[in-house]
Amino acid sequence: MLFLVHMQVNIPHDLDPADAAALIAKEKAYSQELQRNGTWRHLWRMVGQYANYSVFDVASNDELHQKLSALPLYPYMTLEVTPLAQHPSALAPN
């Protein structure tokens, strides 16, 4: 089941740079793990913004929330979640 997720990252300027770098590294590792297991199906950078559009494939709302709230950068993110369904004109199944 697919969800479009818009992620806006707002790391406070006064966060210790080392802490920030560590979080960002953890975020990358975590996201690549989810990409490998098919949960995080698409990840695109929005041009000119510290933000991305992603598509998640999960079995339930609860699984999505669990996966999103486990993002290392979650405390510094604003997320918008849009549930997606099969479009009648789409050739490919979701």
- Calculate the CA 87 to chain-centre distance: 22
Q: Which of 32, 38, 39, 57: binder of a copy of itself (CB under 8 A)?
A: 32
3-state SS assignment for residue 35: helix
Amino acid at 66: Q
* 75 contacts a copy of itself (rule: CB under 8 A): yes
Instruction: Please state whether 38 falls in left (phi above 0), alpha (psi between -120 and 50) or beta.
Output: left
Interface pick for a copy of itself out of 21, 28, 38, 70 (rule CB under 8 A): 28
Residues forming the site for a copy of itself (CB under 8 A)? 1-5, 12-13, 15, 27-28, 31-32, 35-36, 42-49, 52-53, 55, 60-62, 64-66, 68-69, 75-76, 79-92, 94
